[in-house]
Structure 1
């Protein structure tokens, strides 16, 4: 009779598969954060906001009409926040290199979800911009279905912003968008866009609530549209696990953390309810504009 072994042998952990699609594919990451930004946050002039271009006809005869001047510009501000992963295990049979690798892989596996959740709600962090707390304009589509909802969202957004925007939606709503032909790959692998070129950020860490935390109607999720999103991250430091070892209890206490800041180009934010069903039917669609 064959002997059944009950002492499994440890082998190297398989490499992780590709990262899931989400905010990290739609956002731009300009580079590492500086120490001064970590200490105080960042601000920049929103020079590309609005569509404040008017037509001027001087006519042939004086007096010529005065040219209108628009005062000032918007400024974008954002506070930093920390993303932290920890790992605890006994020292027996485990080396410091194993512990360092494990805590870093745990960080890599979960950091996109954590940043998406923070972009959606702010996660209680003061000064951190969030979709739920943004001053958003609610859009009402003219017809039922995901196609009409997203089309109305894009039209309202581009009526106030001259550059490509980003649509943020929980992943449970993507099937209806796909059914409506709104998910296309443009601009390289991993980039999902609408036919008009708007970026999709389909986040598992996103919520389904709308402006000021408003719940969606049954069978719907809220989607937001913002200008281009930017993410900054500090280099991810890992203290030597030997230095954080709990020698009293013989426990590895490993830490991986980074500081993040996110912002979108200016405060033009729109929101709309999108049906989850594909196709949607009139009886599960909120009232539309007559």
Structure 2
């Protein structure tokens, strides 16, 4: 007797605290972002001054304050799109369900694929995703910076020291709430050192100083030069605030997906993404494990 064929009674739930759910997603001004975007990135250093008539030093009259000078750096930055795709093969008999299966397949993989692309810069076997996290060289398109260099702040330190140095550099560079990008393998270490907590108001993971932690299931843990970390270690990165656009899900047309040689439908579901971030790109190499004291 043949067994009954049923629909899988399981609802797929993406992992929480991932990249897309932790970045800003402003409404796109039309579909042209899918050709890539350019923006002016302004990163102020700031400064202070005083009125010499009102100031006192305790050791005589204060000198004339220095001349006010520009203390806001700005540069043209750019980001390029990439596409996540899921392909499902079926017979024409399954046409009615083909799009649903393709959509479900994409939903199950796109979070991880987006995170891997944003960490490594790789899409379709080529490094064409800009900007991305693991980068040791600058990429320019004329005057536009597509890829800044990831600046390491420490190598091989325990996670408390490394995170402290990373966040101090981030505060000096960005001065607002930034993002700490970590592979999921680093979360137990952060928890053991009490360096991560759940913000009940936002449902997001934050560090003790208030930066958001993005725990990417697709984050590879590799260094700025793309090399794999030694056992028991990983790389983590910090950026300013990040933002992104994504398209609707697109499907291949039936007439384009039919492989007549095998009478098979090759249904594809795909979605295009573009992700950028402000000002900083910092890196730290950390040791995994629990405190020993």
Structure 1 unaligned regions, length at least 5: 282-290
Q: Counterpart in 2 of 1:29? A: 25
Q: Counterpart in 2 of 1:284? A: none
How far apart in 1 are the matches of 2:163 and 2:72? 32
How far apart in 2 are the matches of 1:168 and 1:198? 10
Q: Does 1:203 align with 2:210?
A: no
Q: Does 1:234 align with 2:247?
A: yes
Q: Does 1:275 align with 2:287?
A: yes
Q: Does 1:20 align with 2:32?
A: no
Q: Does 22-31 or 169-178 show the bigger shift?
A: 22-31
Shift of 1:248: 4.5
How far apart in 2 are the matches of 1:24 and 1:187? 19
Deviations 1:74-100 (Å, cap 9, x if unpaired)?
2220011121111111234x2x23111
Shift of 1:280: 5.8
Please give the residue correspondences for 1:98-113 in structure 2 after superposition, counting only pairs within 5 Å. 98-113=97-112
Secondary structure in 2 matching 1:201: strand
Q: Contact between 1:31 and 1:233, CA under 8 Å: does it hold in 2?
A: no
The structure whose residues are more often strand, as a share, is 2
Shift of 1:244: 2.6
Select 2:154's aligned residue among 140, 153, 156. 140
Q: Contact between 1:225 and 1:271, CA under 8 Å: does it hold in 2?
A: yes
How far apart in 2 are the matches of 1:232 and 1:187? 26
How far apart in 2 are the matches of 1:250 and 1:199? 49
How far apart in 2 are the matches of 1:69 and 1:245? 61
Are residues 158 and 280 of structure 1, via their aligned partners in 2, closer, same or farther at CA, if it must alter by over 3 Å?
A: farther
Instruction: Name the TM-score, length of structure 2 as normaliser.
Output: 0.83
Q: Counterpart in 2 of 1:285? A: none
Q: Contact between 2:49 and 2:65, CA under 8 Å: does it hold in 1?
A: no
What's the C-alpha RMSD, in Å, of the aligned pairs? Answer: 2.5
Shift of 1:12: 2.2
Shift of 1:33: 7.1
Instruction: Name the TM-score, length of structure 1 as normaliser.
Output: 0.83
Q: Does 209-218 or 197-206 show the bigger shift?
A: 209-218
How far apart in 2 are the matches of 1:112 and 1:162? 29
Q: Counterpart in 1 of 2:48? A: 55
How far apart in 2 are the matches of 1:9 and 1:242? 32
Q: Contact between 2:88 and 2:266, CA under 8 Å: does it hold in 1?
A: yes
Shift of 1:214: 4.2
Shift of 1:65: 3.6
Secondary structure in 1 matching 2:161: helix
